[in-house]
Structure 1
Amino acid sequence: GGRDERGRMRILYVCSDLGIPVLGNRGGSIHVRSLVSAFSRAGHSVVLASPRLTKSSWETPARLDVPVIHVPPRSVTDSASRSVAAYLATVGSTSPLADELRRILYNNDLADALRRQFREARPDIVYERCAIYGTAGAAIADALGVPLLLEVNAPLLLEDQLYRSGKGLGEVAMAAERWTVTRADAVLVVSAALREYVVSLGVAQERVHTIANGIDEALFRPGPREPAVRARWGLDGEPIVGFVGGYQPWHGLDALPALLERLLPRHPAVRLVVVGDGRGRRDFERQIEARGLAESVRVTGAIPHDEVPALIREFDVAVAPYPPPAHDFYFSPLKLFEYMGCAAAIAAPRLGQIEEVIRHGETGLLYSPSDPEALADACDRLLSDRALARSLGLKAAVEVHDKYTWDHNAARITRIAETLVEKRAVAP
């Protein structure tokens, strides 16, 4: 390894997920960059390896002050995937097999490339963001003889079955997940529910560490409202209920049109501002138009992550309208921490980690996730009692800056990594 006398580490961060453009605006992209940047700020040497940099050629890459190794799939992998796709088209099948095969084969591409690149100058640790079929990080760590720290953000197979096509190669994905998590020297999960899930796969309790998501505290902080931000989005001092996030079904955007309809009779000038983009955006906008709510709604689409805090600071109420899931609430909602960082007054459901982080009546208002009227009542209370909203927001900001930052997470992960490196150094 290459640790110096001051304890600085060489960290190879591996993101094998073909769906995460590491320099893009997706939630996973932001998560990767935030932690990588925190490692770098702490003085560690970090290299990020990924198959995808941006969502499209037209997207401006986010700035990241660490080396990024772009490892696209090899031509033989793409050729195999295309051949399978052509066969499926010939027989009239809509099977996702071609895409799934590409994901599987890519792990070999990435592992081979990184083994060659780091054979003569090994990292101290490999840090991998868990991906469906993801085995590259474990293979690289084993080949280089260094510890693997595996970050698990979701039960990926369950998520694929419930929220995406659900047509992936389930048996293969399950075997790959179990193979990887049981080879990791440490597994880092974002919630208590995920901890239980990982242990159920056969990982020893003492190797699993729960580390919730966090914020970049230099970006997400309390501050004054900016007239230029309101002008850009056609806002003129109206009270704002705001949402930040994607359009995946688990985020609960379907609840927002009904919420607005309940609030408008009590607060006729209220505006709903939705920050983010995704495949469900057009369906959401159609709902808004069909219900005659377009004048009261602003949808920003995708914006650079460093522009999000200024919008959150405009929110009079920030919502996280997660519906009650058909499974354990395993999320560690990034939006929740970012709302808190900007001192927004939060209305959120009593679910999983949300109830652990938000103290009802102190740092936000909680409501029953199965009660749409309770969400509207919480928003109404915050819109009507501005003193309460300010108090909750400021206390939430103190809480998140004290406990939930990427710098805190990086420091904790580094301590775990140092212990693993030291154990290897003294092992016979």
Structure 2
Amino acid sequence: MNIGYITYPINYPPKAGGAIHSFYLTRELAALGHKVLFLGFTDIPHLNQFSTNIEGGKRFVCESDVLYVRIDGWYRNEKYSRLKDACPELPVVWEINAPLDELMLSGYSKRFYQAKHKTRVELASYVSLAICVSDEMQEYAQSELGISNTVVIPNGAVLSIDSENGNKNVAEDLRPYHDKFKVLWAGSPRYPWQGIQTILNVAKKIAYRDRNYCFIIVGDISQTKLGNIPDNVVLIDEMDHFSLSQYVMAADVCLCIYNDYPFRKFFFSPLKLFDYMARGKAVIASNKGQIAQVIKHGVNGLLVDSEEEIIACLRDLQINRNALELLGNNAKNDVIRYYNWRRVAEETCDSLLPLVKHETERKIDLLKLQTIWNVLEKDFEKRQGKIKYLKRLVNKIRTVIS
């Protein structure tokens, strides 16, 4: 099966959540023998690169058995669904990770959100199937987008990480805290639904009672105002997924803590949760949404509803190392059994295959394709411009460091 995969540029090593998801899913799809087609530049070997000009677009549409579009809290990928206008036999599948109301939490107006949501609803009419990462996203797809054919496929993790490709020296960073009980949280603290302030409050309260704790916070710290940081907290800027796995391995306990989402029920399928579990770590997690479905309290992790409950769980695990090990082992076994990217890829393929039609030749309306491509090319230019800017920035930083 040839899967025409639409997403934002996937960096290597993968870093942000969307890139991590796309990287591991497409890698497993390729490992299963499927061909993943990708529009634009990529240095990832398991992706088949297609030029973003009209000739590349024609080849991309001709060779794709299905158009697979990643849908998240942004609003740019949906428009690629219009390619179906030029090729009516091409099935369109949306992988739905988030609604658009995240825009209002990022500073956009309600009117802007409503306009983009209206467009998303209109484009949903092209969709043959929605793959949803949680039950809540399935409800969103059905009730708000009007997509009737849906399936829920929770996220997963990989059991082995290419940590040797990471660019961080964990031993050096954590040497001063080698004798501490290390508690790790990783994420994007700039988002209001991330529970970073809760974790800082917990660190402050624990500092008054016990000086043997070290809280390791990994994220885009430079973009976040965190206020006064307790002296038992180590702030480490965000890093690639390979490097992050080394810090997870160095931790005793990992936190998957969230605030209530302001506009709807908690809908996430948190990658960090599955990553912690895959590394065999005891997890203390918020009693919300899919997290509460994955974590069985006292079996493969601990569920909490308050700061005091987090503190109590940490103290219990610090004292009871047997429980710490048992929770971590059970969590890892659950990843081996189900919550892994190979299972995600297999369930994805099982969902896609019934949609694929094996015509000898797919008919494409070249005039319509040209019209659609004229619009899409502007988006390609923006994306490629961003990539070039980031590469220049990285080179500049390397020059300054050297």
TM-score, normalised to structure 1, is 0.75
1:261 aligns with 2:204: yes
Secondary structure of 1:11's match? strand
1:409 aligns with 2:352: no
> Within 5 A, what are the aligned runs for 1:30-49?
30-49=20-39
8 Å CA contact 1:37, 1:64 repeated in 2: no
- The superposition leaves residues 337-358 of structure 1 with CA deviations (integer Å, 9 ceiling, x where unpaired) of 0000001111111100010000
Structure of higher RCO (CA pairs closer than 8 Å, 6+ residues apart) = 2
Q: 1:165 aligns with which of 105, 108, 112?
A: 108
Secondary structure of 1:254's match? helix
- Return the alpha-carbon distance in structure 1 between the equivalents of residues 32 and 108 of structure 2: 40
8 Å CA contact 1:137, 1:148 repeated in 2: no
C-alpha displacement of 1:191: 0.8
- Return the alpha-carbon distance in structure 2 between the equivalents of residues 375 and 230 of structure 1: 27
Q: Which residue of 2 aligns with 1:203?
A: 146
1:216 aligns with 2:151: no
C-alpha displacement of 1:142: 4.1
Q: Which residue of 2 aligns with 1:338?
A: 275
Number of equivalences: 348
- The 1:168/1:12 distance shift into structure 2, 3 A limit, reads farther
Q: 2:335 aligns with which of 400, 403, 426?
A: 400
1:348 aligns with 2:291: no
- Return the alpha-carbon distance in structure 1 between the equivalents of residues 132 and 58 of structure 2: 30
- The superposition leaves residues 55-101 of structure 1 with CA deviations (integer Å, 9 ceiling, x where unpaired) of xxxxxx7x553234475xxxxxxxxxxxxxxxxxxxxxxxxxxxxxx
- The 1:321/1:181 distance shift into structure 2, 3 A limit, reads same
- The 1:67/1:149 distance shift into structure 2, 3 A limit, reads same
- Return the alpha-carbon distance in structure 2 between the equivalents of residues 383 and 265 of structure 1: 16
- Return the alpha-carbon distance in structure 2 between the equivalents of residues 255 and 386 of structure 1: 25
> Within 5 A, what are the aligned runs for 1:249-398?
249-277=192-220, 280-281=223-224, 283-284=225-226, 286-288=227-229, 293-294=230-231, 296-326=232-262, 327-368=264-305, 371-398=306-333
Supply the AA of the counterpart residue of 2:278. G
Q: Which 5+ residue runs of structure 2 have no aligned equivalent?
A: 164-168, 361-402
Secondary structure of 2:236's match? strand
Supply the AA of the counterpart residue of 2:256. A
- Return the alpha-carbon distance in structure 2 between the equivalents of residues 192 and 423 of structure 1: 32
C-alpha displacement of 1:186: 0.6
Supply the AA of the counterpart residue of 2:58. R
Q: Which residue of 2 aligns with 1:106?
A: none
- Return the alpha-carbon distance in structure 1 between the equivalents of residues 109 and 359 of structure 2: 40
Q: 1:127 aligns with which of 59, 68, 71?
A: 68
- The 1:379/1:280 distance shift into structure 2, 3 A limit, reads farther
C-alpha displacement of 1:231: 2.9
8 Å CA contact 1:274, 1:298 repeated in 2: yes
Secondary structure of 1:215's match? coil
Q: Which residue of 2 aligns with 1:179?
A: 122
8 Å CA contact 2:124, 2:147 repeated in 1: no
- Return the alpha-carbon distance in structure 2 between the equivalents of residues 276 and 64 of structure 1: 28
Secondary structure of 2:188's match? coil
8 Å CA contact 1:134, 1:177 repeated in 2: no
8 Å CA contact 1:220, 1:342 repeated in 2: no
What fraction of aligned residue pairs are identical, expressed as a percent? 24
Q: Which residue of 2 aligns with 1:146?
A: 90
8 Å CA contact 1:320, 1:348 repeated in 2: yes
Secondary structure of 1:268's match? coil
- The 1:28/1:196 distance shift into structure 2, 3 A limit, reads same
1:11 aligns with 2:3: yes
- Return the alpha-carbon distance in structure 2 between the equivalents of residues 376 and 70 of structure 1: 53
8 Å CA contact 1:163, 1:249 repeated in 2: no
- Return the alpha-carbon distance in structure 2 between the equivalents of residues 246 and 68 of structure 1: 30
Supply the AA of the counterpart residue of 1:315. A
Q: Which residue of 2 aligns with 1:89?
A: none
1:67 aligns with 2:48: yes
1:419 aligns with 2:363: no
8 Å CA contact 1:151, 1:187 repeated in 2: yes
- The 1:135/1:114 distance shift into structure 2, 3 A limit, reads farther
Supply the AA of the counterpart residue of 1:181. A
Q: Which 5+ residue runs of structure 1 have no aligned equivalent?
A: 1-8, 54-60, 72-109, 222-227
- Return the alpha-carbon distance in structure 1 between the equivalents of residues 215 and 194 of structure 2: 16
Secondary structure of 2:63's match? coil
8 Å CA contact 2:120, 2:145 repeated in 1: no
C-alpha displacement of 1:280: 3.6
Supply the AA of the counterpart residue of 2:66. I
Q: Which residue of 2 aligns with 1:77?
A: none
Q: Which residue of 1 aligns with 2:393?
A: none
Supply the AA of the counterpart residue of 1:11. I
C-alpha displacement of 1:377: 1.3
- The superposition leaves residues 224-283 of structure 1 with CA deviations (integer Å, 9 ceiling, x where unpaired) of xxxx733333332311010111122211111122111122244312111112225544x1
- The 1:187/1:278 distance shift into structure 2, 3 A limit, reads farther
Identify which range, 176-185 or 37-46, moves more after superposition: 176-185
Supply the AA of the counterpart residue of 2:323. L
1:230 aligns with 2:153: no
TM-score, normalised to structure 2, is 0.79
Supply the AA of the counterpart residue of 2:125. T
- The superposition leaves residues 319-365 of structure 1 with CA deviations (integer Å, 9 ceiling, x where unpaired) of 11201233200111110000000011111111000100000000011
